[in-house]
Amino acid sequence: MVRNVFVIMPAYNAGQTIEKVFARIPPAARERVARYVVVDDGSTDDTGAAAERIRAALPGMVLLRHPVNRGYGAAEKTLLDYAVSEGAEVAILLHADGQYSPEKIPDLLEPFDRGEADIVQGSRMHGRDALRGGMPVYKFVANKLLSWLANVAFGMRLSEYYSGYMVYNRRALTSVPYRKLADSFQFDLEMLVMARVKGLRIRQVPIPTIYADEKSHLNPIKYGLDVLRVIARYRAGKYARI
């Protein structure tokens, strides 16, 4: 069983949701987590105040701050730097907007406990569960199409590439030069690409799709174009040279 498990959370203008996400972390997950780390990525709402309330109720939670918004990938780099420096064996990337289920943390840890994975991604794209969970049809179709293109380009067979529910073990974090990757939302995709380049073991665990009134900061058109750029860079050998 893996130990020294960190939950790391990028938070940008998540004042209305971050406390609800922490409240949903189940006892079976809390028993496994050694430390919670949040980075307030230059929020302009009350995210910082909400995080302070969580820290008051959860001794040992670490709150990091970016004075200005630096982007999702940049926030994740700050969190991963901290996890590596503090000896985390596994780092679970949990989002502050509530779209990824904290209740699935024990399931996401199982491949590590069995020694089967270096990276685990929570996948929403099993059957039509994503649509039943409220994923808009256009996002479902785009995800399926872009995942098919990525599988062809990367020579992998993943059900999706675009879930941000990512879990990394120490081997992954010390072998992938993640600081050279994007500061934007494509960071997680690039981590999967680098895992392919480095020969790391990737596993996927089904997770529910949750679409409610959360505010997303991702522009789907720009992100789709960024995905195509990542595919083109991979085919051109860029990631093999990093």
Mean pLDDT value across residues 50-68:
95
pLDDT score of 140: 85
pLDDT, residue 85, reads 98
Residue 171: CB partners within 8 Å, gap ≥ 6? 118, 200
Q: How confident is the model over 95-114, as a mean pLDDT?
A: 97
* Local confidence band at 197 (pLDDT 50, 70, 90 cut-offs): very high
- Tell me the whole-structure pTM to 2 decimals: 0.93
Q: Is the pLDDT of residue 127 over 70?
A: no
Query: What was the pLDDT predicted at 218?
Result: 64
pLDDT of residue 25: 97
More confident residue, 60 or 161: 161
Q: Round the CA-based radius of gyration of the chain to a whole number and report it.
A: 17
Residue with tokens 């195509």: 228
Of the pLDDT bands very low, low, confident and very high (cuts 50, 70, 90), residue 212 is low
| Number of residues written out for the chain | 242
pLDDT of 60 reads 83
pLDDT band at 207 (very low <50, low <70, confident <90, very high): very high
Residue 216 in this model has a pLDDT that exceeds 80:
no
**Cβ neighbours of residue 71 under 8 Å, at least 6 residues apart?**
41, 183, 184
Is the pLDDT at 213 greater than 80? The verdict is no
Q: For residue 217, which of 99, 122, 121, 114 has the smallest C-alpha distance? A: 99
pLDDT tens track for 80-91: 999 999 999 999
Question: What is the set of domains in the chain, with CATH numbers?
Answer: 5-241 (3.90.550.10)
Residue 205 DSSP class: E
How far apart CA 222 and CA 242 sit, in angstroms, is: 24
Q: Percentage of the chain with pLDDT > 70?
A: 95
